Amino acid sequence: MTPLVFHPIYSQLPLPPRHRFPIEKYQGIRDALVARGITSDRFSAPSPVSSAFLTDYFAPNYVNALVSGVLDDKAMRRIGFPWSEHLIKRSLTAVAGTILTAELAIEHGQALNLTGGYHHAFADFGSGFCLFNDLFLAAKTMQKYGHIDNVLIIDLDVHQGDGTAKLAQDDKSIFTLSIHGEKNFPHRKQHSDLDIGLAKGTGDDEYLETVEQALLLAERQFQPDAIIYDAGVDIHENDDLGHLCISTEGVYQRDKMVYDFCRALDVPVAGVIGGGYQRDIDALVNVHLQLYRAFGVID
């Protein structure tokens, strides 16, 4: 049984009209899972993390200014959301969701958050809709358990996991793997432990072959005790931001490949949904559902 982590606040964020972020998708995924027979008691709800927790890992100046609403306009524009009390509460809850997912994964072998993947957040600034880097925090949380030393972060969102790469740059106990669109944001890439930038228009066959080879390469260089998986679906052929051309079935095959990789290594895996920017929410939810299919939550 794969535990699921969700809070209604994931989708509760008033945004300006025509804002491109599809904030409704989180509730949409929850509703779609329930419509497929998942009962409400399968979902665990996180409580927001505190600023004090975040300042153990990130720059206190940044965390405190952002949480209290005094971060300057330029830094807020880089994040891409207008500041509000609600934005902060939502972000602190979403980050807590990924941490809870990491804890549940250690207990149950696998767990999935219905949000997460804030990989463009650095220690001292946020970027690209990301305020606080939940993937890095989840890795550090897993390492608090005595038997977990090495954590592999597999980031298959179409955008490079630049914040995660930078945060873990000097940390040999965290291996970062990013497969992304070479021409997609961020234009200035950071150095993950393993980076693969794919050309515009890359399709299923080349993509899946690349993922398979990259997983083998990561396994040869690093022996993970736990895995965090960012299953961004902005690789999809209909995505508004991604430059790749992956079918819905290709997304499923990718997620299944990662799942099988984790099971073969017999290590816990915590999954987050990552990016996905189709404007048709039902279509977008359907692509995100492939992760839950691959992990055996739904058929």
Which residues are catalytically annotated?
Answer: 120
Report the residue number, 11 or 150, with the smaller CB distance to Zn ion: 11
| Residue 159 sits in the site that holds Zn ion (CB under 5 A) | yes
Q: Give the binding range for Zn ion (CB under 5 A) out of 56-64, 150-158, 200-208, 263-271.
A: 150-158
| Residue 157 sits in the site that holds Zn ion (CB under 5 A) | yes
Report the residue number, 104 or 194, with the smaller CB distance to Zn ion: 194
Report the residue number, 273 or 289, with the smaller CB distance to Zn ion: 273
Burial label, 42 (beta-carbon count in 10 A; 0-12, 13-18, 19+)? middle
- Binding to Zn ion (CB under 5 A) within 214-273 occurs at 232, 234
Shortest distance in whole angstroms from residue 158 CB to Zn ion: 5
| Residue 288 sits in the site that holds Zn ion (CB under 5 A) | no
Shortest distance in whole angstroms from residue 79 CB to Zn ion: 14
Q: Give the binding range for Zn ion (CB under 5 A) out of 61-69, 89-97, 159-167, 168-176.
A: 159-167
Binding site for Zn ion (CB under 5 A): 157, 159, 232, 234, 275
